[in-house]
Structure 1
Amino acid sequence: MINFYENPIRYVSRMAFQHLPNLHTLTLSGGAQISHFFDLKGTANLEALYMTRANLAYLPQSFCQQLTGLKLLELSHNQILALPNFCQCQQLQEIKLQHNLIQEIGVWTFHQLSSLHSLDLSYNRISNIHQGAFASLQSLRKLDLTNNLLASLPSMSLHSLSHLKLGGNRALSEIFRKEDFPEMRIIEMPYAYQCCVFGACSNQETNRWEHKTSGSMDQDPHGKAVAVFSVLNDMELKKFLLQTLDPKIPTSVQCTPIPGPFKPCSYFFDSWVFRMSVWAVAVVSLVCNTVLVFAVFTSPSDFSAVKFLLGSLGGTSFLVGLCTATLALLDAVTFGEFSQYGALWESSTSCQVVGFLSTFATQASIFLIGLAVIQCSIHVSNIQDYGMVPSATCVKVPILCCGALSLTTATLPLFGIGQYGSSPLCLLSPLPESQPSDIGFTVGLIAMNTLCFFILTCTCIKLYCSFMKEGYSHLRESMLFKHVALLVFANSLLYCPMTFVGLSILQDSLHISEYTIKFIQLVLLPLPASLNPLIYLIFSPLFKEDLQLPQKTSQSAVPVTLDSFCFGESTQALVLPPDAEGLVEVCERSNTHWGPSTVPCYQMTHRVLCQS
């Protein structure tokens, strides 16, 4: 035996290990500078060869001609691009080639290796495996193809397998048949839906505490064995061992990941109550936001900045409703057989688009509500100082900034910061089995939105007190502010469950089931998109005014005079009429001036003050 384990060897001669007939084990690990294989002529009795963490790029075609008695080969953590033909290594029992750059497995690569029982090809770049690559491996029991680029697998030639790992092959979305793996005991799939055919219980939920427990047991096999055998008496232990060792006794297949609420086998939505809630949110969002946008942007009434923001909010809410309707249609199309399409949906571009639009629209809605509160604060100052409100043109640049910030937030998961396709909901996943970077991005986004709602709520309370104190509660602009304040309070309240989800991720003592998280993300999170337009259409008198204005406009052909301008109806907007400049000239000719006076036109009509 020769053992050079984790030695920073820079150079080894090609003939360094020739003519060593009594050498049975050769270990050479950590030689990162070694880029060539050795000439092992005369070392035909070598049975175990370990050459890891080197810089091997290829193996010679005559590799097995010199090592006919080789039983164990480990060449992990190298730079191997292609494999030679191992057919002359008839006694090979175990091959470990993980963490290389292998791209393809040919039909002759492992041909006639009848003694091979374990093959590890994980963490490579394998995209193609020939249909007959494993056909002659009659003794193969363990096959590891984790984290490759496979889109298909020749399952017809894997009848002898008892352990199979395919996790990380996101392009491998096909549904396997249980009949193709009659000897299977443990299998790891890329998607949970592929475990449904192996009898995985769809209602078995694994939470983060169970994951942590199982993870600790996997790291401590002795502790896992003690935990299993400690609950068995002598007779039960004997039966357990007989069942495990006797292949004639059928045993259940342990398939991971386990299906659950986010990875269902039959129905995307768990119940009809769930299903009808999602449909209601989607339909109300699409219909009401369409009416709101049409009423706001086609109304000939005075168009203030806050009203323009409410119309923009209706547009983003429409996008949220559209994404929710897409998920509802997905449930209807895959009704009763979601496992057949779940993997295809998660890996599709459509899922990425739905996640992108939903995140963009949700964040834009929050930012637009915040901008509306800011504009209300500006309106209060302008009313107090100038007796007028700014026009809608002053908010176009801030709206573009909100759109750019929302677009940036929604684009980050497309570049690896977060992930949309981790569940069929296509939303950012707060589940504990997600990657740490994905969870960190999700928690950060929830914290930012929670802080934003908290600041907006405090600001609205302060502004409302200011409105009531200054006596502007009857102004038309105060109607808009009250509507914005109601939106803030309603959206903040509906976002509280999502805040609690973020806290449960940070605090292990808080437990929220996956069913509850799914309901929050599918129903409560998009619910403001349907509630916001309803608040405007039902409770805001401005909507009724917008509907009546087209009729009033056709009847209002009477020219505006100075008296009607000063003492007009108190329900009109706090803005100057189109011919305000002409009225100013009229006032100047009649030795009048603008400003507060003994005839309080501003207090009576909430418009520009005029005094003769």
Structure 2
Amino acid sequence: MKCVLPKFVYRLLLHHLLLTRICWPHGVYATSAVCHDSHNGFNVSPDGNSDLSPDRNPTTMSSGQAPPPTLTLPPWKCCCWNATNQSEEVECRCEGEALTRVPQTLTMAMQRLTIASAGLPRLRATGLKVYAQTLLDVAFTDCLQLELIQDGAFANLKLLRTIYIANAPKLSFLSKDVFSGISDTVEIIRIINSGLTSVPDLTHLPPYNILQMIDLDNNQITRIDSKSIKVKTAQLILANNDISYVDDSAFFGSKIAKLSLKENRKLKELHTNAFHGIIDITELDLSSTSIVKMPSAGLQTIEALYILNTHTLKTIPSIYNFRNLQRAYLTHSFHCCAFQFPSRHDPLRHAQRMLEIEKWRTQCNGERNSRRERNIAKKIESQQDDLGTLGGSEALSADVLSTPFSSVDYMADAAMNLGYFHEEITINPDDEQFAEFCGNFTFRKPSVECYPMPDALNPCEDVMGAQWLRISVWVVVALAVVGNVAVLTVNLSIRPEITPVARFLMCHLAFADLCLGLYLFLVASIDAHSMGEYFNYAYDWQYGLGCKVAGFLTVFASHLSVFTLTLITIERWVAITQAMYLNKRIRLRSASIIMLGGWIYSMVMSSLPLFGISNYSSTSICLPMEVRDTFDTVYLIGILGCNGVAFFIIAVCYAKIYFSLGRETRHARQNNPGELSVAKKMSLLVFTNFACWSPIAFFGLTALAGYPLINVTNSKILLVFFYPLNSCADPYLYAILTAQYRQDLYTLLSKLGLCRTNAVNSKDNSSGMGTTRFTIHRHSSLTCRIPPALEVETQKMLTYSEEYV
């Protein structure tokens, strides 16, 4: 045993030294001369000697064993294996920073070659020639130094079907003759995540066969010049580039089934004839671009259109420009309305279409009569029942049929090899079928599956949708504007002798509600202006200044109104329940500071949608209802939560005010009618707040949770009618219907020489009140003795508070 072990170790070391030799003549270095394939069990050596027998197991050094000190491991390796289980298809993968040339000594039976993470600076014209007889697929991935592909690098590769180049940032240009001599068998060319600044010249690609894919995704292509692309491919991908302009007839003479220009954020302009001359296109993807206008020339055969996440697109061409369109996935729902109402979208084009139909009907009727005469003559001459086919009338049928019949299976290999996408079907009806066809010329609205579908918040025809809602909104607008202007006019014109805080807060509330009324006025105005065809005005309204102003007004006004209502309620609660403590009242300075905070809070909440937190453009009524990410969700939950907290505070404060009255007062029916009216007013105030805010809060939270309980139409009624109802009710409940407001109004009118008698009588009635009409304490058995020095001021304050409760 002592002799056997050293001998075995010696033989193992010698075998390893022989296998890890350095092949200087060919410039090939390898970390291991034999790469074992764990799947198929055969080995390939870089010198060309391969062992494809699964029975032999190589003897290699383990990864943890250190090499002899006199040897260094070369920094790249190649491994080969059988890529399929069904047939022998050898795939080799070479990788390493020191790999600067394509290895020339790999197995000659190789079908797939991948060069990965190599320091290859250029692909030489002769680099792949040694594998010309068998190579099917070639791939270069993560070759960060690759900057040149020599002319004819892919020439004479007889079976080549796939060229794949990925992550080559220095590869910025391909010369005109890179693809010269390329085999007719090529099917896929992909150069992705690289540095191409222009579309390579593809004129040397097979002129008769149609490629499956040409993919130039995620390069740095800046523009597509006129007639710069002429290919035949089932799919051309130019996505994720820096394309900013597509010139006239950029794809002239090309046969492209699917064309993708998506994710080109800088693409703002397409020439009017950008797609002119393109043949048999069926799908076009312009998603996530910045185009403002979409051309239609050359897109008559399109079947599917994708323009998602493209908020800059203002108008879309008429459906009459897309004769074969079946599906459209758009950004704006109002663009789908253009397909639903073609006569309103493009009246001129619709009129032309109707004239064409009438012309065809006339021609068809004339042809039907002439055909009938010819058929009678044929019957007399031939005495045959079967008259055969139409013969010369086929040209007429081709003219009459405005949309060609075609097969959708353009990806089939047979179709691509034959050089066409659509298999045309010859229509050859008999006389009766033709006559029936000609005799039923009618206009049918094009049927297009379009997304997103219009709904009540993004309608096609009217913003309001229902006549009763339109009338109701105008009534609310009138009451809100008139009421709040009246409150502001009176309160700002009369210098308050008592309770300046209450008047100060009332002015803020009236201003907020006036802004909400102005919002309703803007929405009602666009509804009246665009009645019956809102979708034609939708972009200018929703993405213009109008919707931003309206949305800002409504969010600012609603938050300021709720904030002010809450502060008014707290101020009245303190004034009534703490009447004898003058030092516990809210002073004007404190109220001003608090209201400044309310203004800042309202400004911030209304400005967030202008900076990407939700937005005002998602609906026709300009409310921030879009939920795209977590920030939008938090924002909307914050709005509903703040309103809910405010309502809770208002309800609690009015409950405390009510229960601060004596028990006899709360149960009085005849003895204390004034105190009973106070309770009724408080109940009315709480009820109006509850009626306006609770439905919106409840259904809004359920919708955010993913369980909407009402449809879009009913939610629109809540948002348009109930949401701004407080702006209409507040000035009347808090001011106009009170005795104090009437006294202030008469005083103002008396200064103008009007209603002087009413002003004097109102002032006398107010000064004649000797004592407060309600008890301050929670328990009727307790009495409150106000010091004489405070009695007069407290009496005035309590009287004012009672009138404004």
User: The TM-score by the shorter chain falls in which range?
Assistant: 0.7 to 0.9
Matched, 1:64 2:202: yes
Aligned to 1:155: 296
Q: For 1:482-501, list aligned pairs within 5 A.
A: 486-501=684-699
Aligned to 1:27: 164
Aligned counterparts of 1:569 and 1:89: Cα–Cα separation in 2:
95
Aligned counterparts of 2:172 and 2:469: Cα–Cα separation in 1:
62
Aligned counterparts of 2:407 and 2:202: Cα–Cα separation in 1:
39
> Which letter does structure 2 place at the counterpart of 1:343?
Y
Aligned counterparts of 1:480 and 1:34: Cα–Cα separation in 2:
82
Q: For 1:50-61, list aligned pairs within 5 A.
A: 50-52=190-192, 54-59=193-198
Aligned counterparts of 2:796 and 2:730: Cα–Cα separation in 1:
30
Report SS of the residue matched to 1:63.
coil
Moved more, 412-421 or 192-201: 192-201
Aligned to 1:181: 322
> Which letter does structure 1 place at the counterpart of 2:270?
I
Aligned counterparts of 1:141 and 1:539: Cα–Cα separation in 2:
67
What are the Cα deviations for residues 231-250 of structure 1, in whole angstroms up to 9, with x where unaligned?
xxxxxxxxxx9998898899
Query: Which structure carries more relative contact order (alpha carbon 8 Å, separation 6+)?
Result: 1
Task: Return closer, same or farther for 1:420/1:601 CA change in 2, 3 Å cut-off.
Answer: closer
Alignment counterpart, residue 457 of structure 1, candidates 651, 660, 669: 651
> Which letter does structure 2 place at the counterpart of 1:545?
Q
CA contact (8 A) 1:77 1:99 kept: yes
Give the Å deviation of 1:407.
0.3
Task: Return closer, same or farther for 1:439/1:50 CA change in 2, 3 Å cut-off.
Answer: same
> Which letter does structure 2 place at the counterpart of 1:491?
N
Give the Å deviation of 1:154.
1.7
Report SS of the residue matched to 2:145.
coil
Report SS of the residue matched to 2:474.
helix
Give the Å deviation of 1:148.
1.2
Aligned counterparts of 2:162 and 2:680: Cα–Cα separation in 1:
82
> Which letter does structure 2 place at the counterpart of 1:58?
T
TM-score relative to the length of structure 1: 0.76
What are the Cα deviations for residues 325-364 of structure 1, in whole angstroms up to 9, with x where unaligned?
1111111111222222122211211111110111101111
Aligned counterparts of 1:327 and 1:133: Cα–Cα separation in 2:
38
Aligned to 1:280: 475
Aligned to 1:364: 560
> Which letter does structure 1 place at the counterpart of 2:144?
R
Report SS of the residue matched to 1:255.
strand
CA contact (8 A) 1:497 1:520 kept: yes
Task: Return closer, same or farther for 1:462/1:88 CA change in 2, 3 Å cut-off.
Answer: closer
Q: For 1:80-479, list aligned pairs within 5 A.
A: 80-83=221-224, 87=228, 89-113=230-254, 115-124=255-264, 125-199=266-340, 252-304=447-499, 305-380=501-576, 383-386=579-582, 391-429=587-625, 437-466=631-660, 468=662
CA contact (8 A) 2:334 2:459 kept: yes
Aligned to 1:524: 722
Moved more, 406-415 or 290-299: 290-299
Equivalent pairs: percent with the same residue?
22
Matched, 1:18 2:153: yes
Give the Å deviation of 1:176.
2.8
CA contact (8 A) 1:288 1:533 kept: yes
Task: Return closer, same or farther for 1:81/1:387 CA change in 2, 3 Å cut-off.
Answer: closer
Alignment counterpart, residue 734 of structure 2, candidates 516, 527, 536: 536
CA contact (8 A) 1:479 1:540 kept: no
More helix by share: 1
Aligned counterparts of 2:215 and 2:474: Cα–Cα separation in 1:
55
Aligned counterparts of 1:444 and 1:604: Cα–Cα separation in 2:
41
Aligned residues: 535
> What are the ranges of 5 or more consecutive residues in structure 2 without an aligned counterpart?
1-111, 117-138, 343-404, 410-423, 428-436, 438-443, 761-766, 774-784, 798-805
Task: Return closer, same or farther for 1:550/1:171 CA change in 2, 3 Å cut-off.
Answer: closer
Report SS of the residue matched to 2:224.
coil
CA contact (8 A) 1:185 1:252 kept: yes
Report SS of the residue matched to 1:117.
strand
Aligned to 1:580: none
Task: Return closer, same or farther for 1:43/1:451 CA change in 2, 3 Å cut-off.
Answer: farther
Aligned counterparts of 1:441 and 1:43: Cα–Cα separation in 2:
61
Aligned counterparts of 1:348 and 1:312: Cα–Cα separation in 2:
29
Alignment counterpart, residue 711 of structure 2, candidates 513, 534, 543: 513
Report SS of the residue matched to 1:95.
strand
RMSD: 4.1
Moved more, 284-293 or 180-189: 180-189
Give the Å deviation of 1:198.
2.4
Report SS of the residue matched to 1:379.
helix
What are the Cα deviations for residues 27-77 of structure 1, in whole angstroms up to 9, with x where unaligned?
233x2745535563656234421122x2425136x6325545683211213
Aligned counterparts of 1:158 and 1:514: Cα–Cα separation in 2:
35
Aligned to 2:349: none
Aligned counterparts of 2:680 and 2:504: Cα–Cα separation in 1:
16
Report SS of the residue matched to 1:58.
coil
Report SS of the residue matched to 1:444.
helix
Aligned counterparts of 2:145 and 2:793: Cα–Cα separation in 1:
96
CA contact (8 A) 1:161 1:184 kept: yes
> What are the ranges of 5 or more consecutive residues in structure 1 without an aligned counterpart?
202-240, 559-566, 574-594
Give the Å deviation of 1:538.
5.3
CA contact (8 A) 2:239 2:261 kept: yes
Aligned counterparts of 2:650 and 2:796: Cα–Cα separation in 1:
29
Report SS of the residue matched to 1:156.
coil
Aligned counterparts of 1:600 and 1:105: Cα–Cα separation in 2:
86
Task: Return closer, same or farther for 1:390/1:36 CA change in 2, 3 Å cut-off.
Answer: closer
Task: Return closer, same or farther for 1:459/1:385 CA change in 2, 3 Å cut-off.
Answer: same
Report the structure number with the largest CA radius of gyration: 2
Report SS of the residue matched to 1:153.
coil
Report SS of the residue matched to 1:384.
coil
Aligned to 1:545: 743
Matched, 1:606 2:795: yes
Aligned counterparts of 1:73 and 1:8: Cα–Cα separation in 2:
20
Task: Return closer, same or farther for 1:138/1:186 CA change in 2, 3 Å cut-off.
Answer: same
CA contact (8 A) 2:156 2:181 kept: yes
Report SS of the residue matched to 2:579.
helix
TM-score relative to the length of structure 2: 0.59
Give the Å deviation of 1:127.
1.0
CA contact (8 A) 1:494 1:524 kept: yes
What are the Cα deviations for residues 260-280 of structure 1, in whole angstroms up to 9, with x where unaligned?
212222222221111111111
What are the Cα deviations for residues 539-592 of structure 1, in whole angstroms up to 9, with x where unaligned?
42221222234588989xx9xxxxxxxx9854899xxxxxxxxxxxxxxxxxxx
> Which letter does structure 1 place at the counterpart of 2:712?
E
Task: Return closer, same or farther for 1:444/1:391 CA change in 2, 3 Å cut-off.
Answer: closer
Aligned counterparts of 2:481 and 2:552: Cα–Cα separation in 1:
18
Aligned counterparts of 2:637 and 2:584: Cα–Cα separation in 1:
42
Report SS of the residue matched to 2:240.
coil
